[in-house]
Structure 1
Amino acid sequence: MARAALGTAGALGSLCRWCARRRYELAPGAASTGLTGLSWLHHLDGVSLGEHIVYGVATAAAAGLAAGGLKHKHRGVAAAGASGMVVLADAWIGAGLGPSVPSLIASALATGGAYAMYVPWLVKSRQQQLSLQVKAAKSGVTAEGLGTNTLAPGLTGATAEETALLRALVAMLSVPAVDVTSLDYTPFGWRAVIVLPPGRNTAPQKVIARKDQLAANLGLPGKLRLARGEKDNELVVSLYESDPLATSIPWPGPSTRTCTEPAVLGMDAFGNPVLIPLLYNHVLIGGSTDNGKSGVQSVLIAYAVACDDAEVLLIDMKPGAVEFGPWRDCALALADSPSRAMQLLKLVWAEVERRGALLAELGEKKWVPGKHGPAWFVFIDELAELVRRVPQAAKLIESLLQVARFVGITLVCATQSPSNRVFGGSTDGRQQYQVRIGLGAKESTTSNLIFGPGAYGDGWCLDELDAPGKFLRWDREHQVPVEARGFWMTDEDVAATSHRYAREEGESEAREHPEPSPDPDDDSPPPMPPPPPSGGPGGGRPVLRAVPVFPDGTEIADERHLALWQAVEKAGPQGITVDDLVALDLPQFAARSSVNGPLGQWRRKGWVEEAGKKGRAMAYRTVPRHAVEEAPEAVEDSESATVSG
Structure 2
Amino acid sequence: MRPRQMRRNARRMRRYGMQPMVVINSGDSLPDVFAVLFGRWLWRYRSELAPFTLAMVTVLVSLVLHLTHPQWWPWLLASATVVASSLVGLGQRMGLVRRSERVYAATVAMAVGAWLAAGTALGPSFRPLPQLLLYGGVVLAVPWWAHRRRRARVRVERKLAAWPEISAAIGLNGSRVMSAVVDVWGWRARFGLARGQTIQDVTAKIPALESALGTFRGAVRVHPTPDDKANRFELRVLDIDPHADAIPWPGPSVSSITEPIDLGPFEDATPAQVHLKRRHGLIGGATGSGKSGVINVLMGNLSACTDAVIWAIDLKRGMELQPWSACIDRLATNPEQASALLRDAVTILEGRAEWLAAHGQRVWEPTSDMPALVILIDEYAELADEAPDAISDADSIGRRGRAVAVQLIAATQRPTQKAMGRGALRSQMDVRLSFRVRERRDVDLILGQGMLSAGWHAHTLNAPGKFLISAPEHDTPRRARAYLLTDEAVSATASQHTVWRPPLDEVSRRALQAERDQPRSQRAEPPVDASPGAGERQGQGGDDKAPEGVLWSMLAGAPDEGVPIAHLMTATGMGRSWVYYRLQELAAERRACQVSRGRWRATQPTEP
| CA positional deviation for 1:553 | 9.4
Q: Which whole-Å deviations, capped at 9, do the CAs of 1:153-210 have from their partners, x for residues lacking one?
A: xxxx994454444542232115212x556544321012234343454xx443343233
Alpha-carbon distance between aligned partners in 2 of 1:537 and 1:310, rounded to the nearest angstrom:
23
Match of 1:511 among 495, 503, 507: 503
Task: Confirm whether residue 313 of structure 1 aligns to residue 311 of structure 2.
Answer: yes
Deviation at 1:378, TM superposition (A): 0.7
Alignment equivalent of 1:494, drawn from 487, 490, 494: 490
Which residue is 1:456 aligned to?
452
| Secondary structure, counterpart of 2:482 in structure 1 | strand
Alignment CA distance shift 1:26-1:251 (3 Å): closer
Deviation for aligned residue 1:291: 1.1
Going from structure 1 to structure 2, the CA distance change for 1:502 and 1:174 (only over 3 Å counts) comes to closer
How many residue pairs match? The answer is 384
Q: Contact (CA 8 Å) 2:255, 2:304: kept in 1 or not? A: yes
8 Å contact from structure 2 (residues 291, 411) kept in 1: yes
Given residue 503 of structure 2, which amino acid in structure 1 is its aligned partner? Answer: R
Shift of 1:233: 4.9
Indicate conservation of the 8 Å contact 1:223/1:239, yes or no. Answer: no
The alpha-carbon distance between structure 1 residues 238 and 165, as it changes in their structure 2 partners (threshold 3 A), is farther
Structure 2: how far apart are the matches of 1:264 and 1:369? 19
Matched residues in 1 for 2:257 and 2:502: separation? 16
Amino acid paired to 2:332:
A
Q: Distance in 2 between matches of 1:538 and 1:299?
A: 34
**In 1, distance between residues paired with 2:435 and 2:266?**
13
CA distance in 2, matches of 1:337, 1:419: 22
Q: Which has the higher contact order (CA 8 A, sep 6+)?
A: 2
Aligned partner of residue 411 in structure 1, secondary structure: strand
Q: Are the equivalent residues in 2 in contact too, given 1:354–1:537 (CA < 8 A)? A: no
SS in 2 for 1:414: strand
Take 1:196 and 1:281, find their aligned partners in 2: how far apart are those partners? 37
1:164 to 1:380, Cα distance in 2 relative to 1, 3 A? farther
Partner SS for 2:347: helix
1:294, CA displacement in angstroms?
0.8
- Residue in 1 aligned with 2:469? 473
SS of equivalent to 2:182: strand
User: Which secondary structure does the structure 1 equivalent of 2:297 belong to?
Assistant: helix
- Give 1:546 deviation, angstroms: 3.6
What is the letter of the counterpart of residue 302 of structure 1? Answer: G
Distance change in 2, residues 1:180/1:28 (3 Å): closer
Q: Equivalents in 2 of 1:25, 1:492: separation in Å?
A: 67
In structure 1, the residue matched to 2:570 is none
Q: Does 1:532 align with 2:509?
A: yes
Specify the alignment match of 1:215 in structure 2: 210
SS in 2 for 1:192: strand
Q: Counterpart in 1 of 2:384? A: 387
Q: 2:437 & 2:420 partners in 1: Cα distance?
A: 21
Q: Quick one: distance in 2 between partners of 1:545 and 1:501?
A: 30
Matches within 5 A, 1:101-112: none
Q: Distance in 1 between matches of 2:347 and 2:299?
A: 23
Which ranges of structure 1 fall in alignment gaps of 5 or more residues?
1-11, 35-156, 514-528, 555-645
Q: In the aligned structure 2, how far is the partner of 1:459 from the partner of 1:245?
A: 20
Would the alpha carbon gap of residues 412 and 161 (structure 1) be closer, same or farther in structure 2, given more than 3 Å must change?
farther
Question: What aligned pairs does 1:3-22 form with structure 2 within 5 A after superposition?
Answer: none
Q: How far apart are residue 430 of structure 1 and its match?
A: 2.7
Matches within 5 A, 1:566-585: none
Aligned equivalent of 1:226 = 221
The equivalent of 2:296 in structure 1 is 298
Q: Which 10-residue stretch deviates more, 158-167 or 415-424?
A: 158-167
Deviation, structure 1 residue 334: 0.7
2:164–2:173 CA contact under 8 A, matched in 1 = no
C-alpha RMSD of the superposition: 3.8
Shift in alpha-carbon separation, 1:161–1:481, aligned structure 2, 3 A = farther
Letter aligned with residue 346 of structure 2: W
Distance 1:225 1:494 in 2: 35
User: TM-score, normalized by length of structure 1?
Assistant: 0.54
| Matches for 1:363-382 after TM superposition, within 5 Å | 363-370=360-367, 373-382=370-379
Question: Paired residue for 1:597?
Answer: none
Against the structure 1 CA distance between its residues 375 and 334, is the aligned structure 2 distance closer, same or farther, given a 3 Å change threshold? same
> For 2:265 and 2:515, how far apart are their aligned partners in 1?
35
Aligned residue in 1 for 2:332: 335
Question: What secondary structure sits across from 1:532 in the alignment?
Answer: helix
Question: Is the partner of 2:203 in helix, strand or coil?
Answer: helix
The code of the aligned residue for 1:547 comes to V
Amino acid in the other structure paired with 2:290: G
Which AA in structure 2 matches 1:306?
A
Question: Which residue, 427, 434, 437 being the options, matches 1:431?
Answer: 427
TM-score (norm 2): 0.57
Q: CA deviation at 1:329?
A: 2.2
1:269 is matched with which residue? 267
Q: Structure 1: how far apart are the matches of 2:508 and 2:421? A: 37
Shift in Å at residue 224 of structure 1? Answer: 2.8
Kindly indicate whether the alpha-carbon contact (under 8 Å) linking 1:227 and 1:458 is maintained by their aligned counterparts in 2.
no
1:421 and 1:231 mapped to 2: Cα distance?
Answer: 39
Identity among equivalent positions (%) equals 32
SS in 2 for 1:360: helix
- Other-structure match for 1:281: 279
Displacement of 1:337 after TM fit? Answer: 1.2
Matched, 1:412 2:409: yes
CA displacement, residues 597-621 of structure 1 (integer Å, 9 cap, x when unaligned): xxxxxxxxxxxxxxxxxxxxxxxxx
Displacement of 1:313: 0.5
Distance 1:292 1:429 in 2: 23
- Aligned twin of 1:628: none
The whole-number CA distance in structure 2 between the counterparts of 1:424 and 1:313 is 21
- Amino acid aligned to 1:511: P
Give the match's secondary structure for 1:190.
strand
1:254-274 per-position Cα deviation (integer Å, ceiling 9, x unaligned): 222211111111111111111
Displacement, 1:395? 2.7
1:234 positional shift = 4.4
